[in-house]
Amino acid sequence: MPCLFAVIALLAPRVLTVVLWLFTDWFAGLFSSLLWPILGFIFAPTTMLWYSVVHNVYGGEWGTLQIVVMVIAVLIDLSPASSRRKG
């Protein structure tokens, strides 16, 4: 089941964010204001998901692996995926 969530997170991070928000308490207490999750959902969904993984799975500890994956998540969010398609 975790592998399925990982695949969904890479293919459709906003869908996974909505599912997690509706059916779990994954984001409870993670953000101090409602502004940050809304901005993360709109502009950086993969980065927001990884930030929540670090806080929920790794207990908020930022090691080398967590920082490397955060950089990858930011690059995924900044990459213009729609401009690669021709036609």
Instruction: Evaluate whether 45 touches 77 at the Cβ level (below 8 Å).
Output: yes
Amino acid at 1: M
Amino acid at 8: I
3-state SS class at 28:
coil
Residue 40 included in any domain: yes
pLDDT tens, residue by residue, 28-51: 888 889 999 999 999 999 999 999
Residue 87 included in any domain: no
Domain that holds residue 18: 2-79
Say what the pLDDT of residue 6 is: 79
Give the total number of structural domains in the chain.
1
Query: Rounded to whole angstroms, how far apart are CA atoms 35 and 76?
Result: 22
Say what the pLDDT of residue 85 is: 45
Confidence check: pLDDT of 26 > 70: yes
Confidence check: pLDDT of 68 > 50: yes
Task: Look at 32 and 10; give whichever has higher pLDDT.
Answer: 32
Confidence check: pLDDT of 82 > 80: no
